[in-house]
Amino acid sequence: MRSYFAVFFLGLLALEACSFRSIVIHPDIPYMEEGFLDELPEKQLTVYAPKKVKSEPYPVLLFIHGGSWRSGNKEKYIPLGRRFARKGYVTVIIDYPLSPTYKVHSMGKASAKAVDWTHRHIGDFGGDPNNLFVSGHSAGGHLAALISVRDEYFDSIGVASNPIRGAVLIDPAGLDMFTYLVEANNAPGTSHNRTFTDSPEVWRDASPMYHLHDAMPPMMIMVGGRTEPSILHGADRFMEAHAPYTPQPGFYLQKRKKHIPMIVQFLYTPSKTYRRVREFVETNRSHEL
């Protein structure tokens, strides 16, 4: 698994050497101070913005990295931020607290805090706060879905209204973590229980599938046909639960893709996945200034 990521990131860095001219990068901006909510650490984000100034602000894409909720960082996704910025998005890539020191609800609160910071400040970077979309791969896809459907995370940080306009989920893990952990029957304190605790109540509470509602933002979901079985099964259950709310959601099964190639495909700039993201954003964005 690590070798796949190493090849991916080295390849992206090599191909991105010429991308600085058309974008502006604002690195390591603190969005959450040490001791926030008496429990969370300081965390930072990086903003990637198109250099060209337009009369109409750019849509915003906030990306949450994967890593099984226990690893990863925003620096590994520098090429992704550059590429989306070159495609016409003000792109925000965040760090968030990781397991085992922090549990899933702390990660949700931090992700919501990053969205709130972005909503309040992204206009300074040419982005449109009224068109803020969240995205994530793997565990990051889970957190993006979770804060999209559960306004409680915004309530917990004192934000009255969820500003998320839509969610782009890339091979998301944990959409139904409750069923996965029940079937896994892990020994207490092992595996994903370090993130989701040993409590079935928390497993269900942190599973986006059980919090769908009429007012939730629209979602675009991309899943690899050869990805991890738990992701495939969770996506199937999620889509079945989602159907009463959106009979024809933006769901794309990429039959030949495994889990890591689902994010590696963004290495290829002409990839049709960029077109799908653009179509999703254009369909769901607000044109009010």
- Domain boundaries along the sequence of the chain: 2-283
Alpha carbon distance 93, 151 (integer Å): 21
**pLDDT tens, residue by residue, 143-161:** 999 999 999 999 999 999 9
Count, residues in the chain: 289
| pLDDT given for residue 20 in this prediction | 52
Residue 12 has pLDDT above 70, yes or no: no
Alpha carbon distance 224, 86 (integer Å): 25
| pLDDT given for residue 6 in this prediction | 53
Q: Helix (H, G, I), strand (E, B), or coil: what is residue 146? A: helix
Residue 239 has pLDDT above 70, yes or no: yes
Alpha carbon distance 239, 115 (integer Å): 25
Report which of 108, 109, 107, 46 is spatially closest to residue 80, judged by C-alpha positions: 46
- Residue pair 169/64 in contact by the 8 Å Cβ criterion: no
Alpha carbon distance 246, 218 (integer Å): 8
Alpha carbon distance 101, 106 (integer Å): 10
**pLDDT tens, residue by residue, 38-56:** 999 999 999 999 998 888 9
For the segment(s) 2-283, the CATH number from 3.40.50.1820, 3.40.50.720, 3.40.50.970, 3.20.20.70 is: 3.40.50.1820
User: Mean per-residue pLDDT for 209-222?
Assistant: 96
Amino acid at 167: A
**pLDDT tens, residue by residue, 70-109:** 999 999 999 999 999 999 999 999 999 999 999 999 999 9
| pLDDT given for residue 268 in this prediction | 83
Query: What predicted TM-score, i.e. pTM, was given to this entire model?
Result: 0.93
**Which residues partner with 29 through β-bridges?**
45
Maximum C-alpha span of the chain = 57
Q: Helix (H, G, I), strand (E, B), or coil: what is residue 73? A: coil
Residue 4 has pLDDT above 50, yes or no: no
User: Mean per-residue pLDDT for 176-187?
Assistant: 97
**pLDDT tens, residue by residue, 248-286:** 778 999 999 999 999 999 988 888 999 999 999 999 998
Alpha carbon distance 157, 135 (integer Å): 20
Extract the runs of DSSP E, i.e. beta strands, from 127-238.
Answer: 127-137, 164-170, 219-224
CB count within 10 Å of CB 108 equals: 23
Structure tokens at 61: 């894409």
What are the φ and ψ backbone dihedral angles of 285, each rounded to 5 degrees?
Answer: -80, 155
Residue 3 has pLDDT above 70, yes or no: no
User: Mean per-residue pLDDT for 186-195?
Assistant: 96
| Residue entry with tokens 């060209």 | 52
Three-point CA angle 91, 162, 112, nearest 5°: 60
| Residue entry with tokens 């226990």 | 70
User: Mean per-residue pLDDT for 203-207?
Assistant: 98
